Homo-oligomer: A and B are copies of this chain.
Amino acid sequence: MKVLLVFAHPEPRSLNGALRDVAVKELEAQGHEVLISDLYADGWKSEVDRADFPGLSPDARLVPVAASKKAFETNALTEDVKTEIEKLLWADALILQFPLWWFAMPAILKGWVDRVFAYGFAYGVGEHSDKRWGDRYGEGTLVGKRAMLIVTAGGWEDHYSPRGVNGAIDDLLFPINHGILYYPGYDVLPPFVVYSVDRFNEAGFEPVAERLRERMRTLATTAPIPYRRQNDGDYLIPSMRLRAELGDPGAAGFELHLNRGAAD
């Protein structure tokens, strides 16, 4: 497979840097081809602003959605964004690797999403009718490809457990896994998460590295998170509400959007 790893840590000599090297080495040992977008090293620009739309007249109001649509349609996106889009089209699998800062991705990676996931490419794709509501959530430009997160967290695993005070890790990552990756069509694999990294030591590294190698060896075969496809009948159109009869009794929150019957 061809794999794109987007890396968002400012320090190459970090645990994240070491884990990245482990992942890349194992992927290459398995015969995969790997590209890295190292956002800090590349000096990635994080902010969506007028500079992203050179075709916009200086007096014109910047409407980000409309400007993104026009720039994508006319091939007028900036070169850095075009390059990332090419990489996404090239790759069979996308890995986003980052430290969890304030329960979300670092700004630089959010800025990669904000800028690269253009209208017409990652959203605003497909027809709207009484049968379907755009190509999104399981359909879209990136359908047939796989994606997964590699995340490090300072807090304890218990604190991210289903009843932990931070909120469950799967719920905290839902806006990314479902909202950013599943939306344009990716099959999203369960995340690889390392906890308590502020208290990490050398002895703890090898077991984590081996767990990561195993995930890299199974990148092509691991079952994706069974999110419900938007246009397959589970949601009413156009309200896009989940049909009343669906969802486990007592299910609430993001859990509703998983088709548990589809998981082995």
A180 to chain B, nearest CB (A): 5
Contact flags A150-176 to B (C-beta < 8 A → 1, else 0):
000010101101111111100110111
Bound complex: CA of A163 vs CA of B48, how far in Å? 31
If A252-B255, A253-B253 touch, does A10 touch B167 (CB 8 Å cutoff)? Answer: no
Given A104-B104, A171-B253, A253-B171, residue A49 in contact with residue B10 (CB < 8 A): yes
A146 sits at the interface (CB 8 A): no
Is B110 a contact partner of A107 (Cβ separation < 8 A)?
yes
A111 at the interface (CB under 8 A from B): yes
Question: Does A103 touch B at the CB level, under 8 Å?
Answer: yes
Binds B, one of A27-35, A86-94, A237-245: A237-245
Chain B residues with Cβ below 8 Å from A65 are 154, 198
Q: Give, as a whole number of angstroms, the nearest-CB distance from A94 to chain B.
A: 15
Is there contact, CB below 8 Å, between B106 and A156? no
Docked Cα-Cα span, A97 to B55, in Å, equals: 28
16 more A-B contacts (CB under 8 A) besides A10-B62, A166-B179, A168-B253? A14-B62, A46-B107, A65-B198, A103-B180, A106-B114, A107-B108, A156-B240, A162-B252, A163-B241, A164-B239, A164-B241, A167-B174, A250-B250, A251-B252, A252-B253, A253-B254
